[in-house]
Structure 1
Amino acid sequence: MIGGVQVDVSRCGSVRVKRMIYPPGFNWAEHLSDIMGSKLCMHAHVGFMAAGQINVRFADGCVKQYKAPQFVAVEPGHEGWVVGNEPAVLIEFDFESETVGKLGLPSVHHHENGK
């Protein structure tokens, strides 16, 4: 457990496949910010929301909702929190510090519609 989040990890070649279980009431600012030493999570997340809901706020104030069942792609520079009374379960594909480059993701949050 890290900051109340259950993390199960299995390596498959160069990717770590992780099951992250965020408990009800979890939020980045309260539970992980100090542990990670950063106001925002600076890691990209790509995977599948298998259960529950997480809202993610980016540095520019934009908020995105991810509710199961849904594909998830979150750029670095965000914080998040669980919505509701159900744990949020994310199956994540993680290339550690190379996730952004290997998956061709933007290095910061952007708006697809230009807003």
Structure 2
Amino acid sequence: MTTTHQKTEHRDFADADEVRTFEHGAMEVLTVGGDDIGRMTLQPGWRWSNDVKPIAGTDLCEAPHFQYHVSGTLHIVMADGTEFDATAGQLTSLPSGHDAWVVGDEPAVIVDFYGASNWAKGR
């Protein structure tokens, strides 16, 4: 992640540089300060292993993430068996090797500060 910023930037996800859509969700990507930041909106019924795995072509999500959870609940299961719910107001730092799905009837909205570059982009 780049930490040196050369200029002031003010961006809005409504004017994303790229929008990636997939079953039950989408991710808007902005490039800010040379880094890709993604906002994922994951609808009820979304599950990485069902909706993004066919795009990624891997058994588990191999993108590491550093995320802020804006709303909704995302259940995360790591390759080592660790699992937890991430909810609004929480941060997660996830290494590669995980699955995740939306819990309940509210969409999960997550801002991903690390890992958005290639997530749901395909090989």
TM-score, normalised to structure 1, is 0.77
| 1:50 equivalent among 63, 70, 80 | 70
Unaligned 5+ runs, structure 1: 98-115
Alignment of 1:99-110 (within 5 A): none
Unaligned 5+ runs, structure 2: 1-20, 119-123
Moved over 4 A (4+): none
Structure 2 match to 1:21: 41
Q: Give the aligned CA root-mean-square deviation in angstroms.
A: 1.5
Would you say how many aligned residue pairs link Structure 1 and Structure 2? 97
Answer 1 or 2: which has greater helix percent.
1
**Which stretch has the larger CA shift, 80-89 or 32-41?**
32-41
Alignment of 1:1-115 (within 5 A): 1-94=21-114, 96=117
* Aligned counterparts of 1:36 and 1:3: Cα–Cα separation in 2: 13
* Aligned counterparts of 2:26 and 2:92: Cα–Cα separation in 1: 18
* Aligned counterparts of 2:66 and 2:79: Cα–Cα separation in 1: 18
CA contact (8 A) 1:3 1:35 kept: no
SS of the aligned residue for 1:34 comes to helix
* Aligned counterparts of 1:3 and 1:41: Cα–Cα separation in 2: 16
* Aligned counterparts of 2:110 and 2:25: Cα–Cα separation in 1: 11
* Amino-acid identity (%): 30
